[in-house]
C-alpha cells in the first residue's frame, strides 16, 4: 500500500495495492505499523461507525474537542464520495487548509485524520456507505461542527444539485465564527495528544 501525507498536516491518504484473480480481489486496507511509523501517532480502534447516505448528501464538517479527541480512518465501502479533510487546529501550520479525496468502494482508498482535524463528505451516489474506525468512544457534547459551505474555506463541492443536509450542519458556524467563539482545539493541544513519536 502507499501512504502519503495530504496537504493538511497529520492527515494521510492510504491507497492499497489490489490482487485480482478468478475469485475477485484482495487487498490490505492498512497496517498499524506502517501508519504509526509515518504519522508518529499510535492508532487504536475503540469504536466503529457507519453512515449510509443518498446522492448529494453533504455531511460535516465535523471535528471533536480536545480532550477527548477522536482520530479517524475513513473508507468508502459502498458507492462513492468526495471526502474532505480540514485543519481545525488553531495555530497549526495548515490551519484552515483542506484537501480532497475521491473515495470509491472499488478503490479501497482510506483517509486517516489525526485529533483536531475536521471531516466532511459529499455522497456522489445513492446508498453511499462510509466506514469510520475511531480511536476513542464518542462522548456526547464534544462534537465540533463547522459550516461546509463557508466561502472563506472555498471547498469545491462541484455540484449545482440541491444538497441534503442535517439542520445542525446547515446552521453550523463558519471557521472564523468558531474561532471567535472559542470552539476549536489548538495545535498545541492536538500535538500533546499525539504522543512522543510525533514529529515537531
pLDDT per position in the chain (200 positions), as tens? 899 999 999 999 999 988 888 999 898 888 888 888 888 888 899 999 999 999 999 999 999 999 999 999 999 999 999 999 999 999 999 999 999 999 999 999 999 999 999 999 999 999 999 999 999 999 999 999 999 999 999 999 999 999 999 999 999 999 999 999 999 999 999 999 887 777 66
194 is catalytic: no
Give CA separation, 6 vs 50, 112, 159, in Å: 23, 10, 23
d(CA 106, CA 76): 9
d(CA 143, CA 68): 10
Positive or negative, the CA dihedral 174, 175, 178, 180 is negative
Task: Tell me 117's DSSP state.
Answer: E
Options 62, 112, 187, 194, the catalytic residue? 62
pLDDT for position 200: 65
Q: What are phi and psi of 176, to 5 degrees?
A: -65, -35
119 is catalytic: no
Options 112, 119, 132, 198, the catalytic residue? 132
Amino acid at each position: 500500500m502507499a501512504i502519503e501525507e495530504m496537504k493538511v498536516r497529520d492527515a494521510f491518504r492510504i491507497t492499497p495495492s489490489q490482487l485480482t484473480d478468478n475469485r475477485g480481489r484482495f487487498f490490505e486496507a492498512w497496517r498499524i505499523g506502517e501508519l504509526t511509523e509515518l504519522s508518529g501517532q499510535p492508532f487504536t480502534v475503540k469504536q466503529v461507525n457507519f453512515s449510509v447516505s443518498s446522492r448529494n448528501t453533504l455531511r460535516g464538517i465535523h471535528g471533536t474537542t480536545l480532550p477527548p479527541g477522536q482520530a479517524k480512518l475513513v473508507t468508502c465501502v459502498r458507492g462513492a464520495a468526495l471526502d474532505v479533510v480540514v485543519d481545525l487546529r488553531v495555530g497549526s501550520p495548515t490551519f484552515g487548509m483542506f484537501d480532497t479525496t475521491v473515495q470509491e468502494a472499488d478503490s479501497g482508498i482510506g483517509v486517516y485524520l489525526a485529533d483536531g482535524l475536521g471531516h466532511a463528505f459529499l455522497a456522489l451516489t445513492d446508498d453511499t456507505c462510509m466506514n469510520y474506525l475511531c480511536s476513542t468512544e464518542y462522548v456526547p457534547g464534544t462534537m465540533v461542527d463547522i459550516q461546509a459551505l463557508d466561502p472563506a474555506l472555498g471547498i469545491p463541492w462541484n455540484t449545482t444539485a440541491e444538497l441534503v443536509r442535517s439542520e445542525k450542519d446547515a446552521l453550523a458556524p463558519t471557521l472564523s465564527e468558531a474561532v471567535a467563539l472559542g470552539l476549536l482545539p489548538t495545535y498545541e493541544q492536538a500535538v500533546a495528544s499525539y504522543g512522543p513519536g510525533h514529529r515537531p
